[in-house]
Structure 1
């Protein structure tokens, strides 16, 4: 084996994979068997993330950065003048096993550019997973990036070896896709997602009747959208997410802020990267849809097509719907408690449990751990009057931001004083 060449390939193809943020390592319960390598149940996966939110517990690489397509937003586009490389199937298998034995990784995230055609590329991805499972007895986590346009037969086979499958829809709207990737068709993304959804449902049904039925993509499927490359509003992005969550039972939708990689008149100019704050607001909205019972139309619509940058989406919704407040902490149902700014779902369940034994006061809410600097303007309880009375949404927003900024300045000043003290002590 030419180790220098393998190292060069790894540098090229690991770097090219960094643009894919849908690198999830959760949701599977594939246990170790036959004294094999690894395990992806319970604590079998190390949830380690880099500072920009990307999971680093998996070996995250492309099989190749050669591609037959020329998508304007993609670093591996065929017209881009970059160094190209491709792994052999056995090379990826060997890297995964060797890295796992050295405790560098807990599993594999494998994606690829498309060479020749979708089925040819998908076959090679599946070959890697199949060799790991059947020849190396590897029971660790495997996430395969499905290739748009791959056949139903290949998608069915992929789910038998991978814990999670994902197809990136890339651009939130069809018009954006046609503009930036005219060689691609949205139906080529939909077809494999539809197949995986149906297979997951079928295998779950069979598993109830026949215990020996094999696992099929036990961690489900996910997708990713590029934000800011084609001009969609936050409403358009989140409406697309809601559609895919509802129709394809996705586990996650990931939002990747556009990073300029080359000049193209169809794209935003170089130097206009999407702020991380916009990504963060989209993820917060996503969380509200999946866990807090919000409908996307409540948060984003024709009147409010974009999310506020200075406040989170739940607070923004509350300020636009002051007529629904105050909410009585001791009487409200779970749905309404979850809509109070500053109260997360864990706190909702704590409140429901605690109030079975007594009426809750402000002191009890502090002990539960809710963010009273926001919640106090939207609630009543035994020991507190309604603070929102006779105040406008703009006034409440100003008070909350003022208090948040004051806390931030206080924490920063405290850290600065500690730093200066340590400097003097060490001197």
Structure 2
């Protein structure tokens, strides 16, 4: 690798670390006719120093940009070194890194130079060359450019496993404040187009088995949180909209990293606490897999997620009238909502209790986190000794969490 390419790679991979939407699940592209690579659900990732999960080859095509978004490191007013890969350089890097077993796929984003279509054409061309000239079957995630034409979106879906359009800010008002040159409609339009194209493609697949598959891993988006004053309630409702109306696979939450002294932004040196990202992802998981509604997790009266307790536990503490749950008789949906019991554990409980009544030792074997679940359940050999108030129970659980690694710690709740 030449010194110039190494320099570009260092700059453009570092600039790409702020884009967190790089998961690769959902694709199953097969290697046929002795091609190169094979996409699967286990694409390798690396972790940056601040805990962000990134693809092993995650780069920008360029950090030149015509926009001046206050929250972006690549904004045109920022005094940084500007570089750009050629399409062929991206292709060569991907192939050479793959052959050396450094990567399993490509995550390619870009700043915007000239206009949306000009940039998008180059992103698509890189993916096309990999697929057609090198028969590369590894995972490709393209960040599509807001405002690009429908024709380019269609081509991108043909060659990429996943597409994503960053909405960037949780609300239109915040986008207008921090990125006045951008329009929310330019972001939503390609998302709607991709959604409809994927629905139509699924119907074509049913009728014609050899019909080309478009973006088998679907589409995703990303929101910057903490740069503007939106509450978790507003953020999760926006995510709910994308899941229900656009059928997105994932919404990613990127805590704002201070990169500017702009008066519209939080002060440099005060990044968003990482725990806020974590709580949003936990709440997002509850919505996608546990059938929670947004207003069960947060509300206009309590619009922020609790930093000390996870959203599932917070919900349980607010709804103690539903507990304790009898593991041997309760409905699956309610068992699944017990803190300390996951989806697979709830399924195993419902299967196992068909054969015998379950006790705490059965739940331990199943994999239930009994230290937490025991406050919310009854079994054949365990009953709560008293009714706890929400705040009292919360403090007991928090204290137990803080003390569980102490050798002299013993549980406060007796079982019988």
Structure 2-normalised TM-score?
0.95
Bigger shift: 298-307 or 401-410?
401-410
- Correspondence list, 1:15-414, <5 A: 15-41=14-40, 45-46=43-44, 49=47, 52-387=50-385, 389-410=386-407
Per-residue CA distance 1:220-248 (angstroms, 9 max, x = gap): 00011111001111111111111111111
Per-residue CA distance 1:166-185 (angstroms, 9 max, x = gap): 01110101111111111111
Per-residue CA distance 1:192-229 (angstroms, 9 max, x = gap): 11111111111111111101101100000001111100
C-alpha RMSD of matched pairs (Å):
1.6
Alignment check: 8 A CA contact 2:28 2:40 kept: yes
Alignment check: 8 A CA contact 1:360 1:382 kept: yes
Deviation at 1:49, TM superposition (A): 4.7
Q: Aligned to 1:253, what secondary structure does the other structure show?
A: strand
In 2, Cα distance between the equivalents of 1:409 and 1:223? Answer: 42
In 2, Cα distance between the equivalents of 1:406 and 1:121? Answer: 54
Per-residue CA distance 1:120-146 (angstroms, 9 max, x = gap): 110110000000001111111000001
Alignment check: 8 A CA contact 1:23 1:54 kept: no
Q: Note closer, same or farther for the CA distance 1:295–1:192 as it changes in structure 2 (3 Å cut).
A: same
In 1, Cα distance between the equivalents of 2:324 and 2:271? Answer: 40
Q: Where in structure 1 do 4 or more consecutive aligned residues deviate above 2 Å? A: 45-58, 408-412
In 2, Cα distance between the equivalents of 1:225 and 1:13? Answer: 21
Q: Aligned to 1:254, what secondary structure does the other structure show?
A: strand
In 2, Cα distance between the equivalents of 1:3 and 1:75? Answer: 26
Q: Aligned to 2:356, what secondary structure does the other structure show?
A: coil
Q: State the partner residue of 1:418.
A: none
Q: State the partner residue of 1:3.
A: 2
Alignment check: 8 A CA contact 1:168 1:223 kept: yes
Q: Aligned to 2:17, what secondary structure does the other structure show?
A: helix
Per-residue CA distance 1:85-117 (angstroms, 9 max, x = gap): 011111100110011111111110000000011
Alignment check: 8 A CA contact 2:20 2:54 kept: no
Deviation at 1:384, TM superposition (A): 1.4
In 1, Cα distance between the equivalents of 2:52 and 2:297? Answer: 26
What residue ranges of structure 2 are gaps of 5+ in the alignment?
Answer: 410-416
Deviation at 1:72, TM superposition (A): 0.3
Q: Aligned to 1:19, what secondary structure does the other structure show?
A: coil
Count of aligned residue pairs for this structure pair: 409
Deviation at 1:402, TM superposition (A): 1.2
What residue ranges of structure 1 are gaps of 5+ in the alignment?
Answer: 413-427
More helix by share: 1
In 1, Cα distance between the equivalents of 2:139 and 2:99? Answer: 14
Q: Aligned to 1:288, what secondary structure does the other structure show?
A: helix
Alignment check: 8 A CA contact 1:359 1:382 kept: yes
Q: Aligned to 1:143, what secondary structure does the other structure show?
A: strand
Q: State the partner residue of 1:415.
A: none
In 1, Cα distance between the equivalents of 2:228 and 2:28? Answer: 38
Q: Aligned to 1:177, what secondary structure does the other structure show?
A: helix
In 1, Cα distance between the equivalents of 2:299 and 2:326? Answer: 28
Deviation at 1:390, TM superposition (A): 2.7
In 2, Cα distance between the equivalents of 1:56 and 1:228? Answer: 21
Deviation at 1:58, TM superposition (A): 3.6
Alignment check: 8 A CA contact 2:47 2:54 kept: yes
Alignment check: 8 A CA contact 2:222 2:252 kept: yes
